[in-house]
Amino acid sequence: MARHLQHELGYCTTGVDCSPSAVALAAARDTRPGHAPVWQCMDITTDDLSALPEPAYAVITCRLVYRWIDDKPAFLDRVRRLLAPGGTLWVVTEVAGRRTTTDPAILRLGITPAEAETLTAGWSIARTTDLDVLRCYALRP
């Protein structure tokens, strides 16, 4: 996602993951000439946000991660502090109950209605788009 935003859409991006191997893999795959995204290993839910290269971001993406964040309200507060004025949080997550399976391990991949309510509460604008088992949220303070 960071590469696409950087190279295709012209954003200056910072790719963040808590896994050192994921960050190393992303950096190794960024072979296009020109300015590359900044890749940073950190836990966005607990690490010091001042370690990020920028104080604020126009767009923050959270792709297939929101479901796994333990303290969702605290995470959302941290993201709000990182958004530049007029910025957008873009969340892509699976929605519970959309898969046609009885496997409980697969069924728990989606967020519940209560988790969706937590996600959208407190934003001045909350728009959604459904993509099969996924839902995209565009959220603005």
Confidence of residue 50 (pLDDT cuts 50, 70, 90): very high
The residue among 111, 114, 137, 109 whose CA lies nearest residue 125 is 137
Q: Quick check: 135 pLDDT over 90?
A: yes
The two tokens of residue 18 are: 């808590």
**What domain range includes position 39?**
1-43
Residue 71 located in a structural domain: yes
pLDDT at residue 58, rounded to an integer: 95
The residue behind tokens 């303290």 is 71
Q: Are residues 63 and 129 in the same domain?
A: yes
Q: Are residues 87 and 19 in the same domain?
A: no
Average pLDDT, the chain: 93
Confidence of residue 25 (pLDDT cuts 50, 70, 90): very high
Q: Quick check: 69 pLDDT over 90?
A: yes
pTM of the model: 0.89
| Rounded Cα distance, 99 and 105, in Å | 11
Which residues neighbour 72 within 8 Å (Cβ) at sequence distance 6 or greater?
Answer: 66, 115, 118, 119
